[in-house]
Structure 1
């Protein structure tokens, strides 16, 4: 059974991350199912744009530490979202953490409810938001990236919009989403594809330049003794040994 549900309405394909038991953590299976769903949308002439959303109270908790995807496969997924010839719009109504923020960053637009919150939690388990920097750093306010990468603190939807992670934050996420989808439905397929290439060029430059280096850095960090302690502490719900 797929972990990504698909629905269609007037040219919009809605892909729903449907693994609430582990808070839509990015497992190898979920990443694979999402990549296949996106590929199907790319080939479907009836699809004008894609909405990416979630079941449960978490868009994605980040990497599944028990069944993680191959890092190259995850890079391929992020690149697939960026290069999909149709706009991808994230719809968030809850929490997003770590690797899930990379998925948001890869989307062309992202809308979240005011009750949503976000955090780059990698630093707290002994690793870094390396691979997800590919779509994120070209789009985030540099000072904000420094703060939230280094502290791992939570921030709300209004702050996420201010720093460039979100397009919009609103009390009602669907009311905020409606005019964006209305605009996409009025746009020509060729116009959307050509316009998306313009606005994603800087992000794709980061993939071409930095992907291999960041995958290697991420692998090195995850293989370290400090990361093993951090991940074990997280799974055991205790403080890591370095916490003061």
Structure 2
């Protein structure tokens, strides 16, 4: 079977690479399952100090795979696994991020995006809403920015993503890997206990969001995906045309 979440390891840092460029690393049921399994392995591996989540191709993650989407509960479990992992998860983004891919970023502890990156919450244009990805996003995003980008689906760049709290830093003209050198060095110098205890402090609000809202948002997501608007929106997307409601 083709591995869609390819692992590698270097000096305490395990890198998990989203490696399905043919569908722009879209969140298929298979990819979500593989990534969840890989994170579970990292959680119990004493050799892993931290995890880097990155990608092949020019897209970090295009959102849900509309041809083979994961169950909403499975995707929620993946995002919660990132937040609750007792080891920091660092996102390295050098490409585009759409819809559910922003949920992965929101779940990560630290993230760096390069100048070629772009971001968009496109759900409203498909007759959907950023339902389950709100669990990690809304506790971290600037509220006014969340309202704008949730409603309009506009595209924005890495600098704006950093300004509104979606990513930690925009690398600008320099290389993303150079920007992450002090981050990874700091993680390697920290004790495993110190990292776990510190992460527990900074993720407490996000985990409460999962505990309080996950069940409702999973149900809301399932209802939206089953709606007439969503069928029209997803069909139009696959057919590369505007949906019927566009004015």
Question: TM (normalized to structure 2)?
Answer: 0.98
Deviations 1:13-38 (A, max 9, x none): 00000000000000000000101111
Alignment match, 1:105: 106
1:35 maps to 36
Q: Residue 243 of structure 1: which of 223, 243, 246 is its match?
A: 246
Corresponding position: 1:233 with 2:236: yes
The alpha-carbon deviation at position 114 of structure 1 amounts to 1.6
Equivalent position of 1:79 in the other structure: 80
Give the corresponding residue for 1:123: 124
Q: Note the C-alpha offset of 1:206.
A: 0.4
Q: Which moved more, 1:159-168 or 1:36-45?
A: 36-45
2:188 is aligned with 1:185: yes
- What SS does structure 1 have at the residue aligned with 2:54? strand
Instruction: Give the one of 212, 215, 225 matched to 1:209.
Output: 212
Structure 1 stretches of 4+ moved >3 Å:
none
1:1-244 map, 5 Å = 1-170=2-171, 171=173, 172-244=175-247
**SS across alignment from 1:63:** coil
C-alpha offsets along residues 123-146 of structure 1, whole Å, 9 cap, x if unaligned? Answer: 000000000000000000000000
What is the distance in 2 between the residues matched to 1:146 and 1:166?
17
> 1:43 Cα shift?
1.1
The number of residues matched between the two structures is: 244
Instruction: Give the drift of 1:156.
Output: 0.3
The SS at the match of 1:36 is helix
Q: Separation in 1 of the partners of 2:215 and 2:71?
A: 13
Give the superposition deviation at 1:2: 1.5
Q: Cα offset for 1:147?
A: 0.3
Distance 1:228 1:158 in 2: 34
Q: Distance in 2 between matches of 1:133 and 1:29?
A: 22
- SS of residue matched to 1:96: strand
SS at match of 1:46: coil
Q: Equivalents in 1 of 2:168, 2:235: separation in Å? A: 35
> Distance between the aligned counterparts of 1:11 and 1:131, measured in 2?
31
What residue ranges of structure 2 are gaps of 5+ in the alignment?
none
RMSD: 0.5
